[in-house]
Amino acid sequence: MTETTLYDRIGGAPTIDALVDSFYARMDELDEARTIRAMHPQDLAPLGQVLKDYLSEWLGGPALFSPVRGHPRMRQRHMRVPIDSAARDAWLLCMRGALAQTVADEAARSAIDDAMARLADWMRNVPDEPAAETTISQN
């Protein structure tokens, strides 16, 4: 008996393509994503293909990423980009919207979301800005 991968459960390459396209569309459209959109090149197509290749392999589908790019080393590859909790949250907002739009299997979507949330949290590489102190007026 063979185990069904998340890649197969969500519909394979067509769903990965739709997921990544939806993710980057949200990054372009959502005001909450402005800061992370600014971290990316104007033309997202080449980066979108890299993400599609990565997700294919990460979800148990064809190994399209590592034969070309080597070990993912996701945190190391992103160290040049300052990622704090706000950037993580903006990225997850775009990805969660894309998952909701493209992945019909609720259990698979939840499993992918959980794994992506852990990965996104691990990607943080700069401290969060301290919250501005507020004082309560005595007047």
> 98-126 pLDDT, tens per residue?
999 999 999 999 999 999 999 999 989 88
Look at residue 132 in the predicted model and tell me its pLDDT.
52
Contact between 117 and 93 under an 8 Å Cβ cutoff? The reply is: no
DSSP of 84-123: -HHHHHHHHHHHHHHHHHH---HHHHHHHHHHHHHHHHHT
Q: How many helices (H) and strands (E) does the chain have?
A: 8, 0
The mean per-residue pLDDT over the stretch 34-51 comes to: 93
The answer for residues whose C-beta is within 8 angstroms of residue 44's C-beta and 6 or more apart is: 24, 27, 28
Mean pLDDT for all residues in the chain: 89
Contact between 32 and 81 under an 8 Å Cβ cutoff? The reply is: no
Look at residue 51 in the predicted model and tell me its pLDDT.
95
Q: How confident is the model at residue 2 (pLDDT cuts 50, 70, 90)?
A: low
Nearest-angstrom CA–CA distance, 36 and 32: 9
Nearest-angstrom CA–CA distance, 30 and 127: 24
